[in-house]
Amino acid sequence: MRKGYWVSVYPTIDDPARLEVYNELAGRAVKAANGRVLASVGGRVEAHEAGIAERVVLIEFDSFEQAVAARASAAYQEALAELPDGFERDFRIVEGRD
């Protein structure tokens, strides 16, 4: 079974403190879904071409289906409701390769 990954890039973060509630709730939701954070805030980023060197988050799940279900979970939906108005991010769920 192929793994699933959440990949998030945040183009700009004007006020990181406004993400505290989201971060706490999202962390709990990911943990409840057996997700593993592989890369996150504070890690080094070397961006190329149109790459963005802001906050990058990479989370691994045991399967693509598990990653999709975690995004749809009530716990993660609660976290999403706490994102500040006008907040921008590039979020995608991708399937790993064998």
Q: Does 47 score more than 90 pLDDT? A: no
Q: Which residues pair with 92 in a beta bridge?
A: 7
For residues 62 and 1, give the distance between their C-alpha atoms in angstroms, rounded to a whole number: 8
Q: What is the mean pLDDT of residues 67-73?
A: 98
Counting Cα atoms < 13 Å in the Cβ hemisphere of 54 gives 14
For the 4-47+58-95 domain, the top CATH level (class) is alpha beta
At residue 88, the pLDDT reads 85
Q: What is the mean pLDDT of residues 26-31?
A: 97
Q: Does 77 score more than 90 pLDDT? A: yes
For residues 54 and 10, give the distance between their C-alpha atoms in angstroms, rounded to a whole number: 6
For residues 4 and 62, give the distance between their C-alpha atoms in angstroms, rounded to a whole number: 6
Cα angle: 67, vertex 9, 49; to 5 degrees: 125
At residue 15, the pLDDT reads 77
Host H or E run for residue 64: helix 64-72
